[in-house]
Amino acid sequence: MIEARDLRKSFNAVTALDGVDFMARDGEVTGLIGPNGAGKTTALRILYTVMRPDSGTATIDGYDTVRDRQEVQRHIGVVPDSRGLYPRLTAREHVRYFGRLHGMTGQALEDRILELDRTLGMGEFIDRRAKGFSKGQMRKVAMARALVHRPRNLLLDEPTNGLDVASSRSVHTLIRELREAGHCVLFCSHIMQEVANISDRIVVILKGRVAAHGRPNDLLREAGVDSIEALLLNLMGEVEHVA
């Protein structure tokens, strides 16, 4: 379970987060949506421990992301905003490196890599060096190293950005499987169709604040619109109006 309470964060004069509250539950997929620059990535970065909030708290399974950073890190798997690979390491070595940093060793780790290989379909390139990987292959490696330690919570920043239809679909399938297994999945995306399709709950972030949250159908009904896109445009209009 992931909880954000009144998160605030500024970069020099720019306010990225202006009091963000939301919750992502176990066994559910929570989608963060909002236009570019709304604060989605900053919120995720605080949750996955690479940034500290100016104020407010974030907890993962009850652990504070600042105070109990390493405990939080053991409980999360992340495909972050930047997800570069090491061009001179093979896909398997990438996953092994992260697995070891999570304290895994020996046969247990190798078995887990095999398992991920089957789940993600990395067979043809798992022992090739990452230089020259396609975007789809790179994303699979990023997913595999995020999942290697069987984290309870998953945070994915634009998990299908730049992928073709088939690769996107396999990521969606994986997300659904993780939800079925009781994991808490939090992801952000600017592809509205994707969010509508796979999210159990939606959190709309606009200008560093939560503009709306709830189940997609409830949100659509309340707003009297028939697509997430229209909902977002409506909300953006309101925020502009208020401002």
Partner 1 sequence: MWRNIGIVFMKELIDNARDRRSLLVAFIYPLLGPILLGLLISALIGVVSTKPTERAALPVTGLQNAPELAAFLTREGIKVVPAPADPESAVRKGSVESVLVVSPEFAEQFANERTARISVVVNSSRLPGLLALNHLAGLLGKFNREVWAQRIAKRGIDYRIIQPLAIESVNVAAGQHIAEFLLFMVPPLFIFNLFMGGVYLAIDVTSGERERGSLEPLLINPIERWGLMLGKYGAALFFTAAAVAVQLIAFRVIFQMVETPDLGFTRTLDILAILGIFVMTLPLMMLAVGVQVIIATITRSLKEAQTYLGLLPLVPAIPGLVMVFAPVQAKAWMMPIPVFSQTVLLGQMVRGETIELINVAVSMSVSAAVAALLILLAARLYDQEKFIFGS
Footprint (CB under 8 A) of partner 1, residues 175-234: none
Phi and psi at residue 94, to the nearest 5°: -60, -50
Sheet holding 14-24, edge to edge: 14-24, 2-11, 55-60, 63-64
Task: Tell me how many residues contact partner 1 (CB under 8 A).
Answer: 33
Contact 189, 158 (CB under 8 A): yes
Query: Which listed residue (17, 34, 43, 98) binds partner 1 by CB under 8 A?
Result: 98
Piece of 141-149, 168-176, 182-190, 229-237 that binds partner 1 (CB under 8 A): 141-149
Applying CB under 8 A, does 80 fall inside the site for partner 1?
A: yes
Applying CB under 8 A, does 237 fall inside the site for partner 1?
A: no
CB of 237 to partner 1, least distance (A): 31
Pairing of strands 29-33, 184-188: parallel
Dihedral, CA atoms, 4, 66, 198, 130, nearest 10 degrees? 160
CB of 230 to partner 1, least distance (A): 34
Which one, 79 or 188, has the nearer CB to partner 1?
79
Distance of CA 70 to the CA centre of its chain: 18
Applying CB under 8 A, does 101 fall inside the site for partner 1?
A: yes
Structure tokens at 207: 């200008």
Which one, 8 or 176, has the nearer CB to partner 1?
8
What is 40-92 written as a DSSP string? HHHHHHHHTTSS--SEEEEEETTEETTTTHHHHHHHEEEE-S-----TTSBHH
Applying CB under 8 A, does 145 fall inside the site for partner 1?
A: yes
Nearest Cα to Cα of residue 203 among 193, 213, 190, 211:
213
Piece of 67-75, 116-124, 158-166, 201-209 that binds partner 1 (CB under 8 A): 67-75
Applying CB under 8 A, does 108 fall inside the site for partner 1?
A: no
Applying CB under 8 A, does 50 fall inside the site for partner 1?
A: yes
Judged by the rule CB under 8 A, the positions of this chain that interact with partner 1 are 48-52, 70-71, 73-74, 76, 78-89, 93, 97-98, 100-103, 129, 142, 145-146
